[in-house]
Amino acid sequence: MEFREMQEFQKKILLFEQKWGGNFEKISKRLKKDKQENFQLWDDLIVWEGYMKVFQEWQKRFIFK
């Protein structure tokens, strides 16, 4: 994967953080505590988690060698 592609993943992660007002872990915990289901948030968390996993794997391979 190219560096430019990884920057795009990072931008998408930041957009989710701005949209929901926190990082993935914080928002995921909030969702689990909520009494009312939020299907939009569930959908976003699934995509968000995918972006994070790819980005973290890229970091492991190329930055933290």
Q: What pLDDT, in 10s, does the model give residues 18-63?
A: 999 999 999 999 998 998 989 999 999 999 999 999 988 888 887 7
Question: Across the chain, where does the E strand assignment appear?
Answer: none
The pLDDT assigned to 59 comes to: 84
Q: How far is CA 57 from each of CA 6, 26, 51, rounded to the nearest angstrom?
A: 10, 21, 10
Residue range of the domain that includes 47: 3-62
- Structural domains counted in the chain: 1
The pLDDT assigned to 62 comes to: 77
| Residue bearing the bigger pLDDT, 46 or 2 | 46
* Full-model pTM: 0.83
The pLDDT assigned to 52 comes to: 94
The pLDDT assigned to 38 comes to: 92
